[in-house]
C-alpha cells in the first residue's frame, strides 16, 4: 500500500478520534447535574428545598435550592409511587412525567445526531479533497497535468506559419532523442526555452509539438496554478513538480503564462516577501541551483517578457528566447491549410486570396475564421464552405456582428453615409494608400459605419508620406460632414484620436518633424508595481512641449485641409458614393471602382483624370504602437 495513503489515513484517524473525544466531553453533563441518593432527595422534598422534578421511569431529576441559595441540578434513581407523589403535592413541588415508550433507535438518533452529522461532513470533506487523485494533505502537490508520449499526438506538421521558431526548437528534439551527440562535444542543451509572442500565435501548440516529436512526457501547468493564498504552497508545488519530472526524465515542463509567477521581484506594496516571490525563488533554484535538473527542459510562454525578473532570463535558466510572431502571408496560407484539412471546401475557395486578405491575423484568428465559416455554411444548409461564407466570417471577425435591428434616424443614416464616403473617396484618390476593401453603413460592433482597407502585402516599416496620407484618410469623414452638412458630430471621435496619436508619435518618437528634429521625446512610463519608477517625468523643457504641441496641431490641420480640398474637388463622386451607400448599405472594392471609373489594373487606384505622381518620401521608420498591417477607419462611435 502507498505510504502516503497510510500517512494520510493515520492523520485523519487522529483528527476523527480528537473530534469524538471533544464531542463526548461536551455532551456529558451539559448542565452540571449532581448525583444524590434517593433518601437525600426525600429529605430535601420534606424540607421544601426541591423546586422542580422530572420523572422518567425510575430516573428522577430536577432542581433544588442549596445552602448558599443557589439552584443546583440533581439526578437520582428510585421508585416514584403514590407516596412520593402525595409528598410532592403537599410540599407544592412542580413535577412532570416523561414517557419511556420511545424506541431505542429514535433515542439513539436523538443522542447521536450531532455526531452522525459531523462524521458525514468529514467524509464529504475527505472525498472533496481527494477529487482528481489529490489527497486531503496535498495542498503543496503540483497541479501539473502530465501528457504521456502515447497521448500526445501533436507533431511539427500540426504547426504552421512559424517556420523560423520551429527550426530553433528542433535542436531540443534532437537532444532529447540523442543527447550523446551533443554531450560528446562538450555542449549542453539550453535548460530553458522561453516562447515569446502575441496571444494566439501558437506558443502552447509549438511546445506540445516538441514533446510529441521527441516522444517524451510533457508536463503542462499554468503560472497561476503555483500561487495560492497559503504562504509556501507555491514553492512546495514547484519542488513537487520537478520531483515528478526527475522521475520521468527526460521530459519537458511547460509553464503557460509565465508572467503570472515570474514578475519582477521587489514590486508591489508591503515589501517583496510574499507568496509569489517565494514561488519564483524556488523556480530559480530548481532551474539552476546546486542540484541540476538533468534531462529536464523547462519551456514557458508569455506575451509580456518585459515584466519578467532578470534572473529568469539569464544564461543557465531561460537562456534561449524564441519569438513566435504573427504569420506573414505565406504562413497564413499554411495555417489555413492545416485548419481546413478536414473541412469540405468549394472549388471557388482560394486560400491564397484568403491569406492575402487577412493581414495581422494570428493562428487563433484564422482558426476562428474557419470555424465561423463552417457555422455560417451549416446555418444555410451548405454541404461545403464557399467563398461567401469565408467573406462573411472575415467581416464578422474583423468588424463585429451586424446590428441590423438598430433603429437609426434618416438624418443620422445620411450623415453616416457621407462620413464613410469621405473616408473611402480620399483613400481611393490618394496614391500610395492601401486599397479600400469594403465600405458599409450597417452598424457593426460599436460603430455605425465602417470603411475597411486591406494592404496588398504585409508592412513592417512605414514612411512619413504613408503616415501623413493615413491621417488624411482618418480626417476625411469629418471633412465630408463639414462640406455637406456644415456641422461636426461626435462620430469622428475615434478618427481624431487615432490621427492625433499617429501625429504625436511622428513628432516625439519617430523623428519625423523638421522643427523638433530627430529626437525622441516620448516618456517611458513603466508599470507602477514592477519595482521600477513609480512615476515618470518630462525629460524636456516646457518650451519644447509647446513646440511639440504646435507641430502636432500643424500636422493635423494641414491633413484636414488636404482632405477638405480633395473632397471639394471631387464633390460629385462624394454624392454618388453616399447615395450608393444609402441604397445598398455595403459597397465593395469592385463596385467602388466602377462608380469612380477607376482602372482596376492601375496599382495606384486613381481615376485617369485625377492621376498624380506618387512621390515616395525617403523617411522610413518602424510604426510601433499602431497596427501596421490593417487600416480600418471606424466612425460614428456610439457613446
| Predicted pLDDT at 345 | 92
| Predicted pLDDT at 575 | 92
Q: What is the mean pLDDT of residues 156-181?
A: 82
**Same domain, residue pair 505 and 597:** yes
Check which CATH number belongs to the domain holding 366 and give it.
1.10.8.60
Termini Cα distance of the chain: 66
Rounded to 10 degrees, what is the CA torsion of 470, 505, 464, 196?
A: -90
**Cα–Cα distance for residue pair 24/114, rounded to 1 Å:** 11
- 436 pairs with which residues across the strands? 453
In this model, does residue 33 exceed pLDDT 90?
no
List all residues 6 or more positions away from 142 whose beta carbon is below 8 Å from its beta carbon. 221, 237, 238, 240, 241, 244
**Least confident window among 127-131, 453-457, 525-529:** 525-529
Of 449, 451, 439, nearest in space to 580 by CA:
439
In a domain, 234, yes or no: yes
In this model, does residue 458 exceed pLDDT 80?
no
Of 473, 497, 405, nearest in space to 443 by CA:
405
Rounded to 10 degrees, what is the CA torsion of 269, 314, 256, 288?
A: -100
**Same domain, residue pair 241 and 288:** yes
**Same domain, residue pair 476 and 342:** no
pLDDT digits (tens, 9 = 90+) for 490-541: 888 889 999 999 999 999 989 998 888 888 886 655 444 444 444 445 677 8
Candidate list 63, 257, 286, 420, residue with the active-site label: 420
**Same domain, residue pair 232 and 249:** yes
Confidence grade of residue 620 (pLDDT, cut at 50, 70, 90)? very low
**Cα–Cα distance for residue pair 37/19, rounded to 1 Å:** 34
Q: Which of 29-33, 88-92, 110-114, 226-230 has the highest mean pLDDT?
A: 88-92
**Same domain, residue pair 473 and 514:** yes
In this model, does residue 229 exceed pLDDT 70?
no
**Same domain, residue pair 314 and 188:** yes
> E strand or H helix at 158, and its extent?
none
**Same domain, residue pair 262 and 177:** yes
Q: How many domains does the chain have?
A: 3
Residue scoring higher pLDDT (618 or 219): 219
pLDDT digits (tens, 9 = 90+) for 536-575: 456 778 888 899 999 999 999 999 999 999 999 999 999 9
- Give the residue ranges of DSSP H helices in 253-328: 275-288, 310-313
In a domain, 279, yes or no: yes
- Packing angle between helix 493-508 and helix 464-485, nearest 10 degrees? 150
Single residue among 353, 371, 399 that ends a domain in this structure: 399
- 65 pairs with which residues across the strands? 71
**Cα–Cα distance for residue pair 332/415, rounded to 1 Å:** 37
pLDDT digits (tens, 9 = 90+) for 399-411: 777 777 777 888 8
Of 297, 296, 295, 311, nearest in space to 261 by CA:
311
| Predicted pLDDT at 571 | 92
Instruction: For residue 292, give the C-alpha cell.
Output: 541540476
Single residue among 379, 399, 419 that ends a domain in this structure: 399
**Cα–Cα distance for residue pair 539/476, rounded to 1 Å:** 35
Q: What is the mean pLDDT of residues 112-132?
A: 64
In this model, does residue 291 exceed pLDDT 80?
no
**Same domain, residue pair 384 and 450:** no
Which residue segment(s) compose the domain that 337 sits in?
Answer: 329-399
> E strand or H helix at 52, and its extent?
strand 50-56
Average pLDDT, the chain: 78
Residue scoring higher pLDDT (137 or 123): 123
In a domain, 370, yes or no: yes
Instruction: For residue 210, give the C-alpha cell.
Output: 516538441
**Same domain, residue pair 500 and 608:** yes
**Cα–Cα distance for residue pair 207/154, rounded to 1 Å:** 9
Name the percent of the chain lying above pLDDT 70.
76
**124 prior amide bond cis, ω within 30:** no
Check which CATH number belongs to the domain holding 304 and give it.
3.40.50.300
In a domain, 259, yes or no: yes
Residue reference for cell 516562447: 195
- Give the residue ranges of DSSP H helices in 270-409: 275-288, 310-313, 329-339, 351-356, 363-379, 387-399
In this model, does residue 304 exceed pLDDT 60?
yes
**Cα–Cα distance for residue pair 28/123, rounded to 1 Å:** 25
In this model, does residue 65 exceed pLDDT 70?
yes
| Predicted pLDDT at 634 | 39
SS3 329: helix
Q: What are phi and psi of 540, to 5 degrees?
A: -145, 165
| Predicted pLDDT at 607 | 40
In this model, does residue 619 exceed pLDDT 50?
no
| Predicted pLDDT at 359 | 85
Q: What are phi and psi of 215, to 5 degrees?
A: 70, 40
| Predicted pLDDT at 4 | 53
In a domain, 505, yes or no: yes
In a domain, 553, yes or no: yes
| Predicted pLDDT at 633 | 41
Report the side by side order of strands in the sheet with 34-35. 34-35, 71-77, 59-65, 50-56, 94-97
In a domain, 250, yes or no: yes
**Same domain, residue pair 437 and 552:** yes
Residue scoring higher pLDDT (123 or 481): 481
Q: What is the DSSP letter of 144?
A: P
Residue scoring higher pLDDT (310 or 234): 310
Single residue among 399, 430, 449 that ends a domain in this structure: 399
| Gyration radius of the chain over CA positions | 39
In a domain, 533, yes or no: no
pLDDT digits (tens, 9 = 90+) for 566-611: 999 999 999 999 999 999 888 988 889 888 887 655 433 444 443 3
pLDDT digits (tens, 9 = 90+) for 378-405: 999 999 999 989 988 888 888 777 777 7
Check which CATH number belongs to the domain holding 546 and give it.
1.20.58.760
**Same domain, residue pair 391 and 447:** no
Name the percent of the chain lying above pLDDT 90.
21
| Predicted pLDDT at 505 | 93
**Same domain, residue pair 319 and 371:** no
Instruction: For residue 498, give the C-alpha cell.
Output: 487615432
Phi/psi region, residue 65 (left: phi>0; alpha: psi -120 to 50; beta: rest), is beta
| Predicted pLDDT at 290 | 53
487 a catalytic residue: no
> For the whole model, what pTM was predicted?
0.66
Amino acid at each position: 500500500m502507498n505510504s502516503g495513503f497510510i500517512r494520510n489515513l493515520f492523520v485523519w484517524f487522529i483528527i476523527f478520534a480528537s473530534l469524538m473525544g471533544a464531542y463526548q466531553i461536551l455532551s456529558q453533563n451539559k448542565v452540571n447535574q449532581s448525583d444524590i441518593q434517593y433518601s437525600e432527595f426525600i429529605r430535601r422534598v420534606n424540607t421544601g428545598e426541591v423546586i422542580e422534578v422530572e420523572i422518567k421511569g425510575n430516573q428522577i431529576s430536577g432542581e433544588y435550592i442549596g445552602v448558599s441559595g443557589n439552584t443546583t441540578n440533581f439526578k437520582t434513581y428510585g421508585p416514584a409511587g403514590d407516596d412520593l407523589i402525595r409528598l410532592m403535592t403537599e410540599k407544592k413541588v412542580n413535577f412532570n412525567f416523561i414517557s419511556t415508550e420511545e424506541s431505542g433507535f429514535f433515542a439513539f438518533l436523538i443522542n447521536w445526531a450531532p455526531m452522525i452529522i459531523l462524521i458525514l461532513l468529514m467524509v464529504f470533506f475527505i472525498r472533496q479533497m481527494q477529487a482528481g487523485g489529490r489527497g486531503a494533505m496535498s495542498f503543496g502537490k503540483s497541479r501539473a497535468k502530465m501528457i504521456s508520449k502515447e497521448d500526445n499526438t501533436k507533431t511539427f506538421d500540426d504547426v504552421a506559419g512559424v517556420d523560423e521558431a520551429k527550426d530553433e526548437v528542433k535542436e531540443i528534439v534532437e537532444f532529447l532523442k540523442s543527447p550523446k551527440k551533443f554531450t560528446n562535444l562538450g555542449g549542453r542543451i539550453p535548460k530553458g526555452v522561453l516562447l515569446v509572442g502575441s496571444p494566439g500565435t501558437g506558443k502552447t501548440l509549438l511546445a506540445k509539438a516538441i514533446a510529441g516529436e521527441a516522444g517524451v512526457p510533457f508536463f503542462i501547468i499554468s503560472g497561476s496554478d503555483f500561487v495560492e493564498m497559503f504562504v509556501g504552497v507555491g514553492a512546495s508545488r514547484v519542488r513537487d513538480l520537478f520531483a515528478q519530472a526527475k522521475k520521468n526524465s527526460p521530459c519537458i515542463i511547460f509553464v503557460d503564462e509565465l508572467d503570472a509567477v515570474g514578475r519582477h521581484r521587489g514590486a508591489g506594496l508591503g515589501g517583496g516577501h510574499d507568496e509569489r516571490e517565494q514561488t519564483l525563488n524556488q523556480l530559480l533554484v530548481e532551474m539552476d541551483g546546486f542540484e541540476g535538473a538533468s534531462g529536464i527542459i523547462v519551456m514557458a510562454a508569455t506575451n509580456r517578457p518585459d515584466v519578467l525578473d532578470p534572473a529568469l532570463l539569464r544564461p543557465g535558466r531561460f537562456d534561449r528566447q524564441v519569438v513566435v510572431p504573427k504569420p506573414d502571408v505565406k504562413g497564413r496560407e499554411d495555417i489555413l491549410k492545416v485548419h481546413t484539412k478536414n473541412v469540405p471546401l468549394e472549388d471557388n475557395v482560394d486560400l491564397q486570396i484568403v491569406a492575402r486578405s487577412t493581414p495581422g491575423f494570428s493562428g487563433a484568428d484564422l482558426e476562428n475564421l474557419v470555424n465561423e465559416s463552417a457555422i455560417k455554411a451549416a446555418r444555410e444548409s451548405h454541404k461545403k464552405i464557399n467563398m461567401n461564407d469565408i467573406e462573411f466570417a472575415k467581416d464578422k471577425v474583423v468588424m463585429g456582428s451586424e446590428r441590423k435591428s438598430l433603429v437609426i434616424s434618416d438624418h443620422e443614416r445620411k450623415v453616416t453615409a457621407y462620413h464613410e464616403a469621405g473616408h473611402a473617396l480620399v483613400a481611393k484618390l490618394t496614391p500610395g494608400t492601401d486599397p479600400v476593401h469594403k465600405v458599409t453603413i450597417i452598424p457593426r460592433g460599436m460603430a455605425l459605419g465602417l470603411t475597411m482597407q486591406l494592404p496588398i502585402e504585409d508592412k513592417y516599416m512605414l514612411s512619413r508620406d504613408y503616415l501623413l496620407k493615413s491621417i488624411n484618410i482618418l480626417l476625411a469623414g469629418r471633412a465630408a460632414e463639414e462640406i455637406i452638412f456644415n456641422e461636426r458630430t461626435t462620430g469622428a471621435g475615434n478618427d481624431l484620436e487615432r490621427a492625433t496619436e499617429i501625429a504625436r508619435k511622428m513628432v516625439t518618437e519617430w523623428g519625423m518633424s523638421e522643427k523638433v528634429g530627430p529626437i525622441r521625446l516620448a516618456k517611458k512610463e513603466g508599470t507602477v508595481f514592477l519595482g521600477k519608477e513609480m512615476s515618470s517625468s518630462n525629460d524636456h523643457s516646457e518650451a519644447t512641449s509647446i513646440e511639440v504641441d504646435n507641430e502636432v496641431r500643424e500636422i493635423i490641420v494641414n491633413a484636414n485641409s488636404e482632405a477638405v480640398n480633395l473632397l471639394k474637388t471631387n464633390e460629385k463622386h462624394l454624392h454618388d458614393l453616399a447615395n450608393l451607400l444609402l441604397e445598398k448599405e455595403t459597397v465593395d472594392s469592385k463596385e467602388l471602382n466602377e462608380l469612380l471609373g477607376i482602372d482596376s489594373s492601375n496599382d495606384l487606384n486613381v481615376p485617369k483624370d485625377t492621376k498624380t505622381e506618387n512621390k515616395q518620401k525617403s523617411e522610413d521608420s518602424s510604426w510601433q504602437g499602431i497596427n501596421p498591417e490593417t487600416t480600418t477607419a471606424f466612425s460614428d462611435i456610439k457613446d
